[in-house]
């Protein structure tokens, strides 16, 4: 499962989006529960916002149950996700993500694309508390060999995903496309420490 990813470098084109936080800090280890950068469409304009990684619908009463992931195969059917899938889709920009493999002692790997920035498919919700509205997200994942990985969208896929007018059929087809080829690099065990959030996370094996 893609339980951690990184966003430590972003292009200038991202910083000019409406809502982009001027004080956004680089992170080499982003885990569920963290505040993350999301991109969404607002009246045809792409905008940025910060959200908690762990989906929190307004009707949820048990705030200890906020899923960080949603399966692409069942997204349209699950009560927790289906309304957000229809009307509240977003992207999570990332430089890459981590994957652990092995039986006895799992080896961490860094997974990245040819471009410096990946865009993961995600859905968002708004949760009102004491007159304030908090945003939250869940990452969409798909099966990839024995793993589950984020659904990575190319430029055309991003436009389709964010467009409020996109029909459900093409959106579901988009989620079930084969995962793109990614570059991978075996890492040292430093990233296994969940407290570490620094460039050392990417230390090669």
β-pairing, 132-144 vs 147-150, is antiparallel
In whole angstroms, how far apart are CA 168 and each of 73, 86, 175?
13, 7, 11
Is 90 exceeded by the pLDDT of residue 81?
yes
pLDDT tens figures, 133-165: 899 999 999 998 778 999 999 999 999 999 999
Position 92 scores a pLDDT of 98
pTM (two decimals): 0.95
Rg (CA), the chain: 17
In whole angstroms, how far apart are CA 125 and each of 33, 74, 148?
14, 18, 23
DSSP letters for 116-163 = S-EEEEEEEEEEEETTEEEEEEEEEEEEETTEEEE-B--HHHHHHHH-
Is 80 exceeded by the pLDDT of residue 201?
yes
β-pairing, 107-112 vs 183-186, is antiparallel
pLDDT class of 59 with cuts at 50, 70, 90: confident
Position 1 scores a pLDDT of 58
Is 70 exceeded by the pLDDT of residue 26?
yes
The whole-angstrom separation of Cα 132 and Cα 112 is 36
The whole-angstrom separation of Cα 90 and Cα 49 is 10
Is 70 exceeded by the pLDDT of residue 83?
yes
């Amino acid at each position: 499962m893609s339980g951690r990813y990184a966003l430590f470098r972003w292009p200038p084109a991202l910083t000019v989006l409406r809502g982009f936080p001027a004080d956004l800090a680089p992170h080499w280890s982003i885990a569920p529960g963290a505040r993350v950068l999301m991109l969404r469409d607002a009246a045809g304009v792409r905008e940025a916002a910060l959200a908690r990684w762990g989906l929190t619908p307004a009707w949820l009463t048990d705030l200890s149950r906020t899923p960080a992931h949603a399966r692409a195969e069942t997204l349209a059917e699950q009560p927790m996700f289906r309304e957000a899938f229809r009307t509240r889709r977003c992207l999570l920009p990332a430089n890459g993500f981590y994957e652990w493999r092995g039986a006895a002692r799992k080896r961490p790997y860094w997974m990245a694309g040819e471009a410096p920035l990946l865009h993961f498919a995600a859905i968002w919700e708004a949760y009102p508390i004491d007159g304030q509205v908090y945003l939250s997200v869940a990452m969409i994942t798909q099966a990839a060999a024995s793993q589950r990985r984020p659904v990575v969208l190319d430029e055309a896929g991003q436009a389709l995903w964010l467009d409020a007018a996109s029909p459900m059929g093409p959106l579901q087809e988009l989620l079930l496309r084969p995962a793109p080829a990614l570059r991978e690099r075996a890492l040292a065990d430093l990233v296994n420490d969940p407290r570490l959030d620094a460039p050392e996370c990417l230390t090669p094996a």
